[in-house]
Amino acid sequence: MITNDVKYIGVNDHNIDLFEGQYIVPNGMAYNSYIIMDEKVTIMDSVDANFKDEWLDNIKNILGDKSPDYLIVQHMEPDHSANIHEFALAYPEATIVATDRAFVMMGKFFGTDYADRRIVVKDGDTLSLGKHNLSFCLAPMVHWPEVMMTYDSTDKILFSADGFGKFGALDVEEDWACEARRYYFGIVGKYGAQVQAVLKKAANLDIQIICPLHGPVLKENLGYYLDLYNTWSSYKVESEGTLICYTSVYGNTKKAVDMLADELKANGCPKVVINDLARCDMAEAVEDAFRYGKIILATTTYNGDIFPFMRNFIHDLVERGYKNRKIGIVENGSWAPVVKNKITKMFENCKDLTFSDTVVTIHSALNDESREQIKQLAKEMA
């Protein structure tokens, strides 16, 4: 139970291995749905198709033979919208509430846009359920174009769609920030400006509870979550420290990274984080890149280009609008190390990036010259 009138009817998924076909979720996922009990009984969003029966049973267990009046659809991604049509068949008198873009998507997903039983809402529109009054806040591109959030002024709840969500099922205890950060930068991170716009709207609301579509309901210390979202969406540095991301074929670049980490610590760097891009969870490496203010990219030349794992990693950063960071480079190549120029080329359209003056160049193995460059780079980055 969220409040006396708002109850949880979502599900936990421990069968999933990859969320959105790419993100490792060792602790599963939660697909959240809520019911508001009032004169007009209202369901907030659906769940993944694999949990149709469990979700409909959750509704029936609360309502019995009573029928809901509304289904509010905040987001059309299938992990939340897959059972709209099943709901419509089970409750033929219910009205579906969503944005115009969402109804267009319903036509594509289900072959109908429910023109005979719908309410199309715009930004700022309201809906009275009796005691509860809902207002709708459009949140386009957070992270799909049809998204909206819903504010219940009676219980002071923000139903935040995918905002403030995280990886992980609700029956698993784990740190919120780690998996929320990985979720945010993996899925929402490209749309920082749009998140900032929604946060400005939310600043005018008295929010006591946040009900996201993934992850736990947030009831305490909401300033902590709001501050983190503001930091993430404005691309600010969250934690002091230096991240080293590397690829190494025969171990020589790794030796350089190990030496560099020791030199950074010797120069007073408060925290050094190392990710082997061939072996780590790439989403965690992306998360770290946005968390810390300084990053060093150490990689080999491969087929006259950047080693594939590093190239993919940089692409993920650029795609998400990477900025406001300092970057150091360690390049390795037996006869023609060329990655320094190719790395800077990949970042050329990113804003407010600073590259270190010192570049470490290794020809296969470390020597006195490259060791001295590592010491200089560590001093500059620390």
> Domain of 315: which CATH number?
3.40.50.360
Residues 216 and 260 in one domain: no
| 8 Å CB contact between 177 and 284 | no
| Total domains, the chain | 2
336 has pLDDT over 90 = no
1 found inside a domain: no
Residues 295 and 313 in one domain: yes
pLDDT at 330: 97
284 found inside a domain: yes
Domain boundary, last residue among 183, 200, 233: 233
69 found inside a domain: yes
- Taking residue 144's Cβ as centre, other Cβ atoms within 10 Å add up to 17
Average pLDDT over residues 150-172: 98
Residues 228 and 245 in one domain: no
Residues 25 and 114 in one domain: yes
Residues 224 and 135 in one domain: yes
Residues 127 and 102 in one domain: yes
pLDDT per residue over 349-364, tens digit each? 999 999 999 999 999 9
Count of H helices and E strands in the chain?
12, 21
45 found inside a domain: yes
312 has pLDDT over 90 = yes
| 8 Å CB contact between 140 and 194 | yes
2 band by pLDDT with thresholds 50, 70 and 90 = very high
pLDDT at 189: 92
131 has pLDDT over 90 = yes
280 has pLDDT over 90 = yes
pLDDT per residue over 166-202, tens digit each? 999 999 999 999 999 999 999 999 999 999 999 999 9
If you average pLDDT over every residue of the chain, what do you get?
97
Could you tell me what percent of the chain has a pLDDT over 90? Answer: 98
pLDDT at 84: 98
> Domain of 209: which CATH number?
3.60.15.10
Residues 202 and 257 in one domain: no
1 has pLDDT over 90 = no
Domain boundary, last residue among 205, 233, 261: 233
Which element (helix H / strand E) includes 33? none
Domain boundary, last residue among 201, 217, 233: 233
Q: How many Cα atoms within 13 Å fall on the side-chain side of residue 217?
A: 19
Q: What is the DSSP track for 184-226?
A: IIIIIGGGHHHHHHHHHHHTTS--SEEE-SSSPPB-S-HHHHH
**Distance in angstroms (rounded) separating the CA atoms of residues 270 and 277:** 22
Residues 187 and 274 in one domain: no
- 49: DSSP letter: G
pLDDT at 335: 87
**Structural domain of 204:** 6-233
Residues 319 and 303 in one domain: yes
Residues 193 and 282 in one domain: no
Residues 194 and 254 in one domain: no
Handedness of CA 157, 213, 137, 283 (dihedral sign): positive
Residues 229 and 255 in one domain: no
Report the predicted TM-score, pTM, of the whole model to 2 decimal places: 0.94
305 found inside a domain: yes
